[in-house]
Structure formats: structure tokens, C-alpha cells
Amino acid sequence: MNVLVTGGAGYIGSHAVQRLLRDGHTVLALDSLLRGHEKAIDRLRPGSGGRLIFAKLDVNERAGVERLLREHSIDTVMHFAALAAVGESVDQPLFYYRNNTSGMVSLLEACSAVGVERLVFSSSCATYGVPPENMVPIPETCPQSPISPYGETKLQGERLLRDLAEGQRRAKKPFAYAALRYFNVAGADRTGVLGEDHDPETHLIPVVLQAALGRRDGVSVFGTDYPTPDGTCIRDYLHVEDLVDAHVRVMDALKPGDERAYNLGIGKGYSVREIISAVREVTKADFAVREQARRPGDPPRLFADASRIRMELGWSAQITDLHEIIESAWKWFRQNPKGYGA
């Protein structure tokens, strides 16, 4: 199969490229390198299994994307290219709409012009906003009501796909897509080749691991009075390799005209205190923990009901032990203390 992976030099995109190459596919990895790392692609070139092509290009450059789709006979797209920091999206909403929503329009225009018939979309649980307590764990039927520009751009992406599919159906040109709504993605490739390298880093597990490495002066806990067993927020942490496995499973299952939406998570949550405790156990390191006031918009509990994809495609997370998830990330951070800039 010839697969375009947008955002292919990013955290999740590079892991997807790695898996697709191992499966023997031809992969066109496209990335503007605004947040991605070409060194991640460089690490995948030798002995990759499939065929790897890299193009430095923004998905907003429609003519260039269309040319690459034609040149490499792309039949499937995995779309990861997007900005993904909730707080930043609140501060810079137009930056997010330009990259995420406009970029999605440009990509779909190129796909439609060339006749690409399948797309797997990196959506988010942020499309649900703050779900009702009686809908946690969160099913796909939960109302989608984002509370951040980031979540709104992901919901707009899903709507663009739905409307394109409807138009293509009327034109008798079947278009298949799946929107995969992630919960918290964590961990790293267990061979140690790839990992997580964001600047600034906002994800909890890498933030705590950086504190364990001495690269931060401690960890802040935002809110200790939530109605949870230890007073801190609970979230669902899915290992990046399981996430990518779900993408491949969905890609292989898509039939002409399919419109699918799946939640991706392990189906249970870990609290902030549990993450900190597990990191201390894995790393044998101590570090300061500062308790601070709640942040606006943080729900007490968010974790997935991922039963739909299990029932329909037989997928479920295989790496569900918190210590194993953290171990894989810790291996990456020990070997690459400065990320891909080391």
C-alpha cells in the first residue's frame, strides 16, 4: 500500500511511519518541521523494511500536496499534522485554525482532486469537552462540545470529512474515513529508536520524567481537591505503539463509503499522583512536587469507553501496565536527554 503520513516527523506520526515501514508499505512522510524532527525520519531510513520518502511541506501548500499524491500514487492518508497544545490554542486561536482547519481543507482538496479514497484522521477526546459524569467512561455517543480552539479544530476536521464523504457519495465516488479520538498518548517505541520531544513539553508523563532527570526543578500538581480517590485528576494513558496499531487496524478495515469514529484508550484512568508515584518507582529518582490551584476547564475524570473498536475490529490496548508505559518513555529520555537535539 502507498500511504501518506502527514506530520510524519512528529511524535505520533513518526511511530506510525515506523510501523508502516515494518509492515512493508511505501510511506510518504510529509512534515513542515514546525514541530516535527527530521532526525526522527533519519533514524528510520536504514533497514526500515518498506520504502520511505520524506518531503518537507506544509499541508496548507495544496499544489505541492496534490503533486506528491499523484507522483507517489498514494491510495491512503493518515493525517496527524496538527498543532496539539490546548493552552496554546486558547492563547493563539487563529494559529490553530490556520494550521489545523485550513490545513485539513487543503489536504482534502488535494485528496479529492487526485481520487484518494481512504483517510484515517487523528482526532481527539478534546472534541467532547467536559462530558457529563454519567458518561464516563466516555462512549462515542457522548455529545461533542469542545471547550478549546484545539478541540474545536478537531471537531471541524471530523465535520469536513463527513461532508466530503456525503458529497462524494452523491457523485458516486465513494470516500472512506475514520476519525480516531485519542485520549492521552504516552510512552515511546520500545526499541528506543523514537520518542517524545516537544518544546515546550506540556504532557504529564514526560514532564515528570524530565524532573526525574533533573531537567526541571519539580512538578506542579494543579488541583488536589477533586472528587477522586486521591483528589487529583484522572486520565486515560494509551501507549503510542497501541495507538499506531489501532490506526493500522482501521486502515486495513476501511471499505468504500465507510464512515467510522472510534475512541482510543485503555478504558481506565490513572491519577496525577499515581503517575508521579509510578515515575519515582521506575526511575528511582526523587524530585519536588508543588501543589497548586486547579486550572480552569480540567474535568475530574476522563477515560475512554473503547468497546466499539474492540467489538468491530478486535482491537484493544496491549500495553496497559502504567509502569511498562513509563519504562518505555524513561528509556527514551535516558538515552536522549535533549531529545532529537542530543
- Residue 219's CATH number: 3.90.25.10
- The answer to the question of residue 199 being in a domain is no
- The answer to the question of residue 191 being in a domain is no
Domain match, 299 and 168 both: no
Domain match, 220 and 296 both: yes
Secondary structure of 235-276 in HEC code, one letter for each residue: ECEEEHHHHHHHHHHHHHHCCCCCEEEEEECCCCCEEHHHHH
**Residue from 118, 113, 105 nearest 153 by CA:** 105
pLDDT of residue 342: 62
- The answer to the question of residue 26 being in a domain is yes
Number of structural domains (the chain) is 2
pLDDT of residue 297: 73
Tens-place pLDDT, residues 227-284: 999 999 999 999 999 999 999 999 999 999 999 999 999 999 999 999 999 999 999 9
* Grouped pLDDT means (10 residues each) for the chain, 342 residues: 98 97 96 97 82 97 98 98 93 97 98 97 96 94 96 98 96 95 96 93 95 96 96 97 98 97 97 98 97 87 96 97 98 94 74
| Type and span of the H or E element at 120 | strand 118-124
Domain match, 278 and 316 both: yes
Domain match, 126 and 217 both: no
Domain match, 110 and 209 both: no
Domain match, 129 and 223 both: no
Domain match, 149 and 11 both: yes
Domain match, 100 and 156 both: yes
CATH number, domain at 8?
3.40.50.720
Domain match, 260 and 128 both: yes
Q: Which three cell numbers stand for residue 33?
A: 518541521
Phi, psi of 340 (to 5 degrees): -75, -5
- The answer to the question of residue 195 being in a domain is no
Tens-place pLDDT, residues 172-210: 999 999 999 999 999 999 999 999 999 889 899 999 999
pLDDT of residue 161: 98
- The answer to the question of residue 108 being in a domain is yes
- The answer to the question of residue 179 being in a domain is yes
Given 245, 264, 283, which residue is the final one in a domain?
A: 264
Q: Which three cell numbers stand for residue 280?
A: 519515582
Q: Which three cell numbers stand for residue 237?
A: 494513558
Q: Strand 2-6 relative to strand 234-235: parallel, antiparallel, unpaired?
A: unpaired
Range of the domain at 30: 2-186+237-264
- The Cα–Cα gap between 342 and 332 comes to 12
Name residue, grid cell 531537567: 215
This prediction's pTM: 0.96
Domain match, 231 and 243 both: no
| Active-site amino acid positions | 150
Question: Residue 119, exposed/middle/buried by CB under 10 A (0-12, 13-18, 19+)?
Answer: buried
- The answer to the question of residue 192 being in a domain is no
pLDDT of residue 87: 87
Using DSSP, state whether 50 is helix, strand or coil. Answer: coil
- The answer to the question of residue 97 being in a domain is yes
Domain match, 255 and 130 both: yes
DSSP 82: S
Domain match, 95 and 243 both: yes
